[in-house]
Amino acid sequence: MGNSLLSILYLYMFLFQRQLKKPIDAIFMHLTVVNILNLTFTMLPDIIACFGIQRFLNDVGCKAVMYFLRVTRGLSICTTSLLSAFQAITISSSHAQWVWLKSKSSVWIFPSFLFFWVINMVIYVPVITAMKAKSNFTLVGPGMSNAYCETRRIEDNRSWYFISILLVRDLVFVILRITTSLHMVTLLYRHHKTARHLHSPRLASQPAPENKATHTILLLVSCFVFFYCSNNISTFYSFYTAVKIPKMDHSKNAGRPVAKQYPANEEQDVASVKG
């Protein structure tokens, strides 16, 4: 809901309040749209499964949903890092190199979006070939599985090669996010030291705006790193766990009679009794 509200506000600004539009608004709008798409592709299979609908996605549907789920996750990380870098450049000093970056930063926004889309769509091409509709058998070994989809049998060397590429991509942008955030904190600290003697005694007892901004930046980057690490740990665990636990099996079996399973050596005795 929050991402949807922000998208509507930025869309309204782009259409009807062009005089208020800033270059950074394009990054915010792209980030909110990507987050909405990621949440939709993540939650859609499990929500549909909660209603007991079977065979909702075929092979093509599984390939499309899982592919765009991973692409939008990568786009979210890349766009968040771009937003942090743009903010760091904006508040940087007026030295010659920073002036050159400031003049070019707004021009690089849309080419950066195109680069992010291309690189993430290329990286996740193996997801298209790996995904298929869920079969009646339990997936054993490395792979992904949800209510309707699962991966085909994946060799360990191929999975590690793919994961290595993802880790390199993520580390580059996560390090960029951390570095730009620390750069902004350093700039705010220097500004606070320079402007401290300019404040009146009445304002000296109040929290400085630089301190508030510093706390906000550190809180945001800490949350970003925490949730990124938590997501990766849960993803790796579900990918490499020996036997996958089927999700929403209770909803699939709702309203259907459950057939009792007998051991193989008792089948004939049970049949004779029923006869």
- For 59-80, what is the mean pLDDT? 90
In a domain, 260, yes or no: no
pLDDT at 148 over 80: no
In a domain, 109, yes or no: yes
Tell me which residue range forms the domain holding 81: 2-97+104-197+208-248
Specify the number of domains making up the chain: 1
In a domain, 272, yes or no: no
Query: What residue type is assigned to position 22 of the chain?
Result: K
Query: For 131, phi and psi rounded to 5 degrees?
Result: -85, 150
In a domain, 48, yes or no: yes
pLDDT, position 18:
73
What pLDDT band is residue 172 in, cutting at 50, 70 and 90?
very high
CA proximity to 13, closest of 33, 31, 29: 29
pLDDT, position 186:
87
CATH code, 13: 1.20.1070.10
In a domain, 123, yes or no: yes
- Residue 226 and residue 25 in contact, taking contact as beta carbons nearer than 8 Å: no
The pLDDT tens digits of the residues spanning 198-216 come to: 555 555 556 677 778 888 8
The pLDDT tens digits of the residues spanning 123-147 come to: 999 888 888 877 765 555 566 766 7
In a domain, 257, yes or no: no
pTM: 0.76
Helices (H), the chain: 2-16, 23-50, 59-90, 96-105, 109-123, 125-130, 156-195, 201-204, 209-240, 249-252, 267-274
In a domain, 167, yes or no: yes
pLDDT, position 273:
37
Per the structure block, which two tokens stand in for 206? 């109040």
The single-letter DSSP state of residue 8 is H
Q: 50 vs 77, which has greater pLDDT? A: 77
**Cα torsion 24, 30, 33, 39: sign:** negative
Instruction: Report how far residue 144's alpha carbon sits from residue 71's, in angstroms, rounded to the nearest whole number.
Output: 15
Give CA angle at 69 (67, 72), nearest 5°: 105
- Residue 66 and residue 127 in contact, taking contact as beta carbons nearer than 8 Å: yes
H/E stretch holding 131: strand 131-133
In a domain, 228, yes or no: yes
What pLDDT band is residue 75 in, cutting at 50, 70 and 90?
very high
